[in-house]
Amino acid sequence: MYFLGITWNPNDTLFKIGFIQIKYYNLLWIAAFALGWYLMKKIFLKEKKTVEQLDSLFIYTVLATMLGARLGHVFFYDWPYYKNNLLEILLPIKANPNEAILGFIKGYEFTGFTGLASHGAAIGIIIAMYLYVRKHPGFKVIWILDRIVIPVAIGAFFVRLGNFFNSEIVGKTVEKSLVFATKFVRNSDDLPAYKAMQLTNAKTPSVAYSLIENNPKFAAILEAIPYRHPAQLYEGVCYIFVFIILYYFYWKTDKKDKPGFLFGTFLVLLWSIRFFVEFVKERQNSLDESMELLSIGQWLSIPFVLIGLYFMFRPTKS
């Protein structure tokens, strides 16, 4: 790996247990939730809430995040595909006539959930907080949102780091001379796994990609893969600063006493970052490419920013 012209080719799977694959992406999601629980525990104890209340909130948040992110991807980005493959919406499988799950469920392969949308996760969390408050009358929705955005902000960094390990949501092509130019060897748009296996006669994608990177015989294939913006890292690093700002506002100022301010600040900062990073991202599919002025991600981000501005600057009583 070099500072100028990085070749990025990690195996995204840490290990396998039968047909189940444990990926870095999965572990980073787990790390995000674990750190989020720890941060919220500090907040709950400070505000004289119980750990039992937090545990219930944690369950709501996890389910809402995963379900919202999944449905967001399905309906915002790829409904033309999923309307004909309904089974794949909530199951971590994909149709493949040459595979069989557990050796007898033919026509499908286990893939894990490969499509998650952050806009859907945001909507899911907001709905879940409303449902949580209905079961726990001692809370207010805006009180929870003002606090839960702190761990969500750092969790967003872990998710984008997972995207980087997966070589997905990559940026547009750039010259090698760009300081952060990255060659994503395993990017499915530049070199799909099946094609890498065909070109190298390897039996697995991991072996194929390793040969392409390290065997001089396949140097021409490696050379043909373009350098791209590591858009995932641009976005993820910016989210760290969003977390720092929110953390500072909560612990060092009285901003938390203005209902909605931290929530609004989160919406404005995070979705503004998403809006601008989209300019250096590749479009995600044909539907996204059909958008001429802005991408789907940018159109979806604008309402969140406007809502955030409202919560930041609306007149409220402390």
Which pLDDT belongs to residue 306? 98
User: What is the pLDDT at residue 100?
Assistant: 66
The answer on pLDDT for 3 being more than 80 is no
Sign of the C-alpha dihedral computed for residues 264, 268, 273 and 279 taken in this order: positive
pLDDT at 299 over 60: yes
The predicted pLDDT at position 1 comes to 44
More confident residue, 14 or 105: 14
Residues in Cβ contact with 122 at an 8 Å cutoff, skipping those fewer than 6 apart: 68, 304
Angle at 35 between CA 32 and CA 39, to 5 degrees: 130
Q: Are 315 and 298 in contact (CB under 8 A)?
A: no
When the pLDDT of each residue in the chain is averaged and rounded to a whole number, the result is: 90
pLDDT at residue number 188: 87
**pLDDT (0 to 100) of residue 91:** 78
Q: What percent of the chain has pLDDT over 90?
A: 68
What pLDDT, on a 0 to 100 scale, did the predictor assign at position 2?
46
Q: What is the pLDDT of residue 111?
A: 67
Read off the pTM: 0.89
Does position 267 have pLDDT exceeding 70, yes or no?
Answer: yes
Give the mean pLDDT of 134-143: 92
173 forms beta bridges with 228
Q: Which tens digit of pLDDT belongs to each residue from 40-70?
A: 999 999 999 999 999 999 999 999 999 999 9
The angle that helices 261-277 and 141-165 make with each other, rounded to 10 degrees, is 30
Asked if residue 200 has pLDDT above 50, the reply is: yes
**Average pLDDT, stretch 242-260?**
96
Q: Give the pLDDT of residue 113.
A: 65
Question: What was the pLDDT predicted at 104?
Answer: 62
Q: Is the pLDDT of residue 20 over 80?
A: no
73-115 pLDDT, tens digit per residue, is 899 888 888 888 887 788 777 777 766 666 666 777 766 667 7
Question: What is the per-residue pLDDT across 168-186, written as a single tens digit (0 to 9) for each?
Answer: 999 999 998 888 999 999 9
User: What tens digit of pLDDT does each residue of 32-43 get?
Assistant: 999 999 999 999
Q: What is the pLDDT of residue 94?
A: 75
- The more confident residue out of 226 and 101 is 226
